Amino acid sequence: MAHNTHEIPSTEERFEFTSETKRKLLIASLIGVVMVAIGAFLLSKGWSIGVWESHGAEHAAAGGHEAAGHAEHGGEHGATLFSRIIANLWMNSVYFLGISVVGAFFMSYNYVAKAGWQVAIKRVAEAFPSFIIIPGAVLIILMVIPSTRHIVMHWTHDGIMDPASEHYDKIIAGKAWYLNLPFYFVRLIAYVAVWYFGWKTMRKYSLAEDQEVGTENYYKSRNTSKLFLLFFAVTASTSAWDLSMVIDTHWFSTMFGWYHLASWHVAGLAAMMLAILLLKDQGYLKVVNESHLHDLGKLIFGFSVFWTYVWFSQYLLIFYANLPEETIYFRERFTGFEGRYWWPFHINFVLNFFFPLLILMARNSKRRPVLLKLACSAILIGHWFDFYQMHMPGIAKSQGGIGIIEWGTTLTFASLFIYFVANELSKANMYPKNHPFLEESLHHDI
């Protein structure tokens, strides 16, 4: 491997999270809340600002339309304006929870692989999981409250599992061993708690490494990473079932866990890349060079292709089998609910496959900040659409749209995410000073 001959900048860097930046981010999050309130008010009065908005929005607050294509599922399926707000909270929580936990996932597999190149950017990934607690808390609260729980999860309605009830559903009742509230809450809390605790442990050893010379803390971090990966290997799939697939209770896919994880992973990597580039624009991360960007860009490119492979394979196999209980998932996104989810479904594919493929295929494009910013912005927007089409048809149903409510909810989550990440970055040196592979990373050249 060739080595850089130019002088390596100092590894003493501290990120300054100014009070002005804090204030702007908090104001932005409040603006998002106000936008949701305004959007809900306008829709309740029959006015809509956005695309794919509900027809007959003047009736949204009173009850809305019956969801098309859900007759197979039985039970109550009327969608309201409230359903749409809850759908946005659930969808954005799942989306940002994934981006956050990918920081710990990235740290873990690089520790286990003994990868040296990424040490210079490690502290950025290290800051991401600090936000896990917020979307995790939102998800738990939405499931604790019966009225919101029933909107998100059809299987929680009274009588679904009771053979004597008029709402009894034999197929759903057959899954009662897995779909029951005590077991569901145990799983949901375990995801948030263990992921967060695993990150806190790795973070503790990483910060201790800055104070103590030697490899003891490095090996503690590596051993923690092994345990985290073992747990995440299972829960990455089960959380996909519990947070997204189970919304459409009758439907299932054996590929969904991989597809969901691929979406989380590439969105998290894209967010990391944007964070690194923005920090460099502000004069931070001086030791991060084109080779670091190139390697991270290769991961983003590769997993964009992998996401596309899994996404299309799931789609192709379900249609090839032509099983009604499985094809309903795609029929609702193509022709159901007055076709309002057709465009989001296909925009998702364009932004998450064609943009990364065409922009990042060439070697030099993975070393140019402008192109990396363009590709990563498209990926983040594209995977927002991915989670939108996963969740909205099953929760918001005929009330789905993309307007002020969606923009406001996403602005609030994004502002709080940036706040938590920036706050965590400000707590330590931008580089792990005593990491055994830091010198290798400083001279990384490919």
Q: What is the pLDDT of residue 61?
A: 39
Percent of the chain with pLDDT over 90: 78
Average pLDDT of span 121-140? 98
Q: pTM of the entire structure?
A: 0.92
When pLDDT is cut at 50, 70 and 90, the band that residue 121 belongs to is very high
Spatial separation of the C-alpha atoms in residues 163 and 169, rounded to whole Å: 8
Over 90: is that where the pLDDT of 46 sits? no
Long-range Cβ contacts of 206-214 (<8 Å, 24+ apart)? 206/122, 206/126, 206/428, 206/432, 207/427, 207/428, 209/432, 209/433, 209/434, 209/435, 210/428, 210/429, 210/432, 210/433, 210/434, 212/434, 213/434, 214/434
Average pLDDT for 14-25: 96
pLDDT bin (cut points 50, 70, 90) of residue 6 is low
How high does pLDDT run on average in the chain? 90
**Burial of 414: CB neighbours in 10 Å, binned 0-12, 13-18, 19+:** buried
pLDDT at 63: 39
pLDDT digits (tens, 9 = 90+) for 335-376: 888 889 999 999 999 999 999 999 999 999 999 999 999 999
Is 62 or 279 the better-scoring residue by pLDDT? 279
pLDDT confidence of 7, banded at 50, 70, 90? low
> What mean pLDDT comes out for the span 425-432?
95
Whole-number Å distance between alpha carbons of 271 and 373: 10
Which of these, 40, 41, 95, lies nearest to 410 by C-alpha position?
95
The pLDDT of residue 305 is 96
Nearest Cα neighbor of 426 from 7, 25, 134 is: 25
Lowest-confidence segment of 75-84, 146-155, 161-170, 206-215 by average pLDDT? 75-84
Please provide the distance, in angstroms rounded to a whole number, between the alpha carbons at the two ends of the chain: 7
pLDDT at site 64: 36
Residue-wise pLDDT for 254-295, tens only, equals: 899 999 999 999 999 999 999 999 999 999 999 999 999 999
The pLDDT of residue 51: 67
Q: What is the pLDDT of residues 289-343, one digit of tens each?
A: 999 999 999 999 999 999 999 999 998 888 888 777 788 899 899 888 888 999 9
Are residues 138 and 89 in contact, defined by beta-carbon separation less than 8 angstroms?
Answer: yes
Model confidence over 142-186: pLDDT tens digits? 999 999 999 999 999 989 999 998 889 999 999 999 999 999 999
Is pLDDT of 73 > 60? no
